[in-house]
């Protein structure tokens, strides 16, 4: 390969991250450490390609020999992979890389925790667009394990007014996505906003609800695309909301209210919202809550309103079992307990739980939208890093 061929695949350096006012400061070496982990993630996607070979050359033939049949489902593939040495090494490296990323982010954030908390306090002071409610407890499915190995989850507060888990989250997305979601880590939100504007030019939503907003990075582009809309961004975690609201202020976005609440019990009247958006949210629920939340979302949406959900692709019968199994990795080994179950569900069935009709169902792909001429154009992955790529499936429906 020529140098120029390699260049096309190199991820952007961490200095390309947009430094909004809340963004944790990084020293030279902290930046370099993030650069290393970004490159390690990029490299691991090439390591991951070897799993396909291990699967075709030994995992699958060995299974067939032993059982006199092929795999029936991804669970059998996952089980068989467990004793394959190539998969083991890749898995050990992948898990370790997640842990390194969190160590790196937390070491940056915790040494300046006092400064960050104070900054957030200043930016948030006297603003009615941040509504916290200390009565809200994170649901068990969000606090039983630390999702994607993020110590403290989305809710842990080390001290009063803490934003550290939000700051750590923000500091690392660029690294885990190898820059694929852009300098403001909002490529997903930009893609959705653009798709909705392009596809439905006559749609002028007045009230928008973003469910499970975390630090609101993907809702800001939507709020900017519809500056006259009143946007409500809900999450159960106080530290991510405090951080997210302060972050929004530093972007000058004022039409988003960050609300601490449990999505299962929102007291908006029926048909209040024109557009309800969820982004990478469904897979973090439990089977019971997904039913209830879907019916709530259906209730709060106005007839003629739009529900859109961004997720990694569902496992459909035509997705091969190898790919399903590799996509399940995050569920089994990166603390995403509901991931596998949710991705195994029929998206139309999920929509029906909210009272949406099959004939109104829509689905499209959205690739991360970055800014024109942006130096952080997503690095082309040499092979697909299943479950992490900056390409999402968007599914949803109009409410009839």
Partner 1 sequence: MDRIWSVEIMKKLNVDYIADAGKKAKGKRPWFLDNPEVEKVLSITMAVAGELAVARERLDTLERILESKGIMSRNEIESFLPSEQDAQERQLWHAEYLARIMRIIQQDRESLETAPDMNEAVEDLAKEFTKE
Ligand X SMILES: C[S@@+](CC[C@H](N)C(=O)[O-])C[C@H]1O[C@@H](n2cnc3c(N)ncnc32)[C@H](O)[C@@H]1O
* CB within 8 Å of 99: residues ≥ 6 apart: 149
* Count of residues that bind partner 1 according to CB under 8 A: 46
Q: Does 212 bind ligand X (CB under 6 A)?
A: yes
Tell me how far CA of residue 31 lies from CA of 27, 54, 111, in angstroms: 6, 35, 15
Q: Does 166 bind partner 1 (CB under 8 A)?
A: no
Place of tokens 């999450």: 235
Using alpha carbons only, how large is the chain's radius of gyration in Å? Answer: 21
Q: Which residue is nearest to ligand X (CB)?
A: 212
Q: Does 170 bind ligand X (CB under 6 A)?
A: no
Run of H or E residues at 277:
strand 273-279
CB hemisphere CA count around 124 (13 angstroms): 25
**Please, what is the minimum distance in Å from the beta carbon of residue 140 to partner 1?**
12
**Please, what is the minimum distance in Å from the beta carbon of residue 154 to ligand X?**
4
Q: Does 45 bind ligand X (CB under 6 A)?
A: no
Q: Give, as ranges, the residues between 282 and 341 that touch partner 1 (CB under 8 A).
A: 332-333, 335
| Lookup: tokens for 212 | 């499970």
Answer for which of 262, 296, 369, 385 binds ligand X (CB under 6 A) is 262
Instruction: With contacts defined by CB under 8 A, name the span among 46-54, 64-72, 149-157, 218-226 that binds partner 1.
Output: 149-157
Question: CA 165 to CA 397: how far, in whole Å?
Answer: 33
Q: Does 264 bind ligand X (CB under 6 A)?
A: yes
Q: Does 290 bind ligand X (CB under 6 A)?
A: no
Neighbours of 263 (CB within 10 A): 21
Task: Note the residue count of the chain.
Answer: 400
Answer for which of 30, 170, 284, 385 binds ligand X (CB under 6 A) is 284
**Please, what is the minimum distance in Å from the beta carbon of residue 37 to partner 1?**
7
Tell me how far CA of residue 40 lies from CA of 67, 91, 96, 171, 329, in angstroms: 37, 13, 11, 16, 18
Answer for which of 240, 259, 282, 326 binds ligand X (CB under 6 A) is 240
Of 333, 325, 343, nearest to 148 (Cα)?
Answer: 333
User: Based on CB atoms, which residue is closest to partner 1, 142 or 234?
Assistant: 142
Question: CA 80 to CA 157: how far, in whole Å?
Answer: 40
User: Based on CB atoms, which residue is closest to partner 1, 165 or 321?
Assistant: 165
To 10 degrees, the CA torsion angle through 310, 315, 320, 322?
80
Answer for which of 236, 297, 307, 321 binds ligand X (CB under 6 A) is 236
Place of tokens 């995050």: 330
Paired strand residues for 208: 231, 275
Q: Does 46 bind partner 1 (CB under 8 A)?
A: no
Which partner in ligand X, partner 1, none is near 262 (CB below 5 to 8 A by kind)? ligand X
Question: Measured in whole angstroms, how far is the alpha carbon of residue 241 from the centre of its chain?
Answer: 16
Which partner in partner 1, ligand X, none is near 264 (CB below 5 to 8 A by kind)? ligand X
Whether residue 94 contacts residue 329, with contact meaning beta carbons closer than 8 Å, is answered with yes
Question: CA 232 to CA 253: how far, in whole Å?
Answer: 13
**Please, what is the minimum distance in Å from the beta carbon of residue 93 to partner 1?**
7
- Per-residue x/- marks for partner 1, 178-217, CB under 8 A? ----------------------------------------
Paired strand residues for 131: 259
Question: CA 274 to CA 285: how far, in whole Å?
Answer: 24
Q: Does 387 bind ligand X (CB under 6 A)?
A: no
Q: Give, as ranges, the residues between 84 and 143 that touch partner 1 (CB under 8 A).
A: 87-89, 91-93, 95-97, 99-100, 102-103, 106-107, 110-115, 143
Q: Give, as ranges, the residues between 107 and 166 that touch ligand X (CB under 6 A).
A: 139, 142, 154
User: Based on CB atoms, which residue is closest to partner 1, 125 or 159?
Assistant: 159
Binding site for ligand X (CB under 6 A): 139, 142, 154, 188, 212-214, 218, 234-237, 240, 262-264, 279-281, 284
Binding site for partner 1 (CB under 8 A): 25, 27-29, 32-33, 35-37, 39-40, 87-89, 91-93, 95-97, 99-100, 102-103, 106-107, 110-115, 143-146, 149-153, 158-159, 332-333, 335
């Amino acid at each position: 390969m020529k140098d120029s061929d390699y260049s096309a695949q190199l991820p952007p350096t961490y200095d390309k991250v947009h430094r909004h006012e809340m963004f944790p400061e990084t020293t030279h070496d902290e930046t370099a450490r993030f650069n290393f982990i970004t490159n390690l993630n990029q490299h691991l996607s090439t390591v991951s390609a070897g799993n396909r070979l291990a699967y075709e050359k030994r995992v699958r033939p060995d299974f067939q020999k032993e059982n006199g049949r092929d795999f029936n489902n991804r669970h059998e593939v996952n089980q068989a992979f467990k004793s394959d040495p190539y998969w083991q090494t890749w898995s050990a490296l992948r898990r370790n890389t997640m842990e390194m990323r969190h160590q790196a982010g937390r070491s940056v954030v915790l040494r300046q925790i006092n400064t960050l908390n104070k900054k957030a306090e200043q930016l948030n002071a006297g603003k009615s667009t941040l509504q916290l409610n200390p009565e809200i407890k994170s649901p068990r499915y969000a606090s039983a394990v630390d999702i994607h190995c993020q110590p403290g989850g989305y809710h842990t507060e080390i001290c009063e007014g803490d934003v550290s888990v939000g700051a750590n989250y923000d500091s690392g997305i660029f690294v885990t996505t190898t820059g694929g979601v852009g300098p403001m880590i909002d490529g997903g939100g930009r893609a959705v906003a653009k798709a909705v504007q392009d596809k439905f030019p006559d749609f002028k939503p007045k009230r928008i609800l973003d469910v499970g907003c975390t630090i609101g990075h993907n809702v800001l582009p939507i709020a900017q695309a519809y500056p006259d809309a009143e946007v409500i961004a809900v999450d159960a975690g106080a530290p991510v909301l405090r951080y997210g609201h302060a972050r929004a202020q530093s972007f000058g976005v004022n039409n988003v209210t960050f609300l601490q609440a449990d999505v299962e019990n929102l007291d908006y009247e029926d048909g209040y919202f024109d557009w309800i958006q969820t982004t990478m949210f469904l897979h973090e629920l439990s089977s019971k809550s997904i039913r209830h939340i879907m019916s709530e979302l259906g209730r709060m949406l106005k007839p003629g309103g739009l529900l859109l959900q961004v997720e990694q692709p569902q496992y459909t019968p035509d997705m091969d079992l190898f790919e399903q199994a590799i996509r399940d990795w995050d569920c089994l080994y990166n603390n995403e307990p509901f991931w596998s179950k949710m991705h195994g569900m029929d998206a139309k069935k999920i929509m029906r739980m909210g009272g949406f009709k099959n004939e109104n169902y829509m689905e499209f792909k959205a690739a991360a939208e970055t800014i024109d001429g942006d130096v952080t154009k997503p690095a082309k992955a040499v092979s697909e890093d299943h479950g992490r790529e900056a390409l999402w499936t968007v599914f949803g429906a109009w409410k009839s």
